Structure 1
């Protein structure tokens, strides 16, 4: 299994490239702002062939480059139905007036890729010869999801902004809910095995077991 992640130029959002190995098809997870150059380098270095972009949620720091990445490679984008509108209108999800400058840049425009496919809870998503399990985990946004993937003899969880090392995603933006976040953590995250490797949307990797013992937001659940 080949998993290569790197932080985007804005907000340090982790973008991941996932493949069964060099020279194979690959999936791109959460292409944020300013990632296209490094994505192209990784794809070329490992002789990869992108087949899809999958999104953990609709916030702009995770979706900024979805249109150019999808259009350049002629591949679909996958996002939960509750966050789909954010692809063309990121302002609403951030609580900003439509058309307001984003990242300090005026005049930005956004549109959906030509091929957008909607995700639902417990979907089995087979892409690039790999089997992802989709779990709907609202709280950070209404359409937040995590992707579980068997990788060699372990399982990897692409957690987006649901769970971080030592913290969880904020719930104070439009579409966020602490009640929903608590339910997602209790019913989806905590039942997972301790050995599951967590690759979050920001910051370094961790494990479910480590967070179960040390994360102050999980201790009381």
Structure 2
């Protein structure tokens, strides 16, 4: 398995490329602000051919470069339908100062957009990725898991020591707590978490040290054992 990534743009959003090995097909996860050059560099370095872009949610810092990355290679973008509108209306995901923040920036959907659903299994580039709908940061937030729950791309659901903010349009604290309880807590401790921002971590580390994951534990119910 080859996973390489870099923090893109002013938001320092983690963009990843994922492939079975160097020299093969790959998927690109969350190409954010000014990510195109970094993606191109990783593709050249590892001799990869992208076949799809996967989006954990529709916030601008995660989708900024999706249209150019997809358009340059004629590949589809995958996003949950509840966040699809953000591809062409990024201001809808932000609070009242969005116009001044983005300086009149306009985005458009890629030519080929496909919609994700909870529990779907994407078979792309020789990989199998399980889709978990994890609303709370946005209504259409998702995470992606590789087989045997070895790796989780958590987007802005779970960070090292924290979670995604819930004060923007579509965010809701009670909802993100349920997502943490139902989608994160049942995973093995050795599941590696590759978040949308900041360093990687593990479920076990967050189970012990992350105050939000501790708070989510009661929501998991009596059948969700904690290892």
Q: Deviations over 1:39-58 (max 9, x none)?
A: 11110111100000000000
TM-score (norm 2): 0.92
Check 1:116–1:154 CA distance in 2 against 1; reply closer, same or farther (3 A cut). closer
Q: Is the contact between residue 101 and residue 108 of structure 1 (CA under 8 Å) also seen in structure 2?
A: no
Gaps of 5+ in 1: none
Check 1:219–1:194 CA distance in 2 against 1; reply closer, same or farther (3 A cut). same
Could you tell me which of 203, 206, 211 is aligned with 1:216? Answer: 211
Which whole-Å CA distance do the structure 2 matches of 1:29 and 1:211 have between them?
22
Question: Secondary structure of the residue that 1:218 maps to in structure 2?
Answer: helix
Gaps of 5+ in 2: 218-227
Count residues with an aligned counterpart. Answer: 216
Cα RMSD over matched residues? 1.3
Could you tell me which of 176, 187, 194 is aligned with 1:192? Answer: 187
Runs of 4 or more, structure 1, over 3 Å off, are: none
Corresponding residue for residue 165 of structure 2:
170
What is the correspondence of 1:1-221 to structure 2 with a 5 Å cutoff?
Answer: 1-96=1-96, 100-103=99-102, 106-150=103-147, 155-220=150-215, 221=217
Q: Is the contact between residue 10 and residue 32 of structure 1 (CA under 8 Å) also seen in structure 2?
A: no
Q: Deviations over 1:168-221 (max 9, x none)?
A: 000000000011101101111101111100000000000000100110111132
Q: Is the contact between residue 149 and residue 188 of structure 2 (CA under 8 Å) also seen in structure 1?
A: no
What displacement does 1:34 show?
A: 0.9
More helix by share: 2
TM-score (norm 1): 0.95
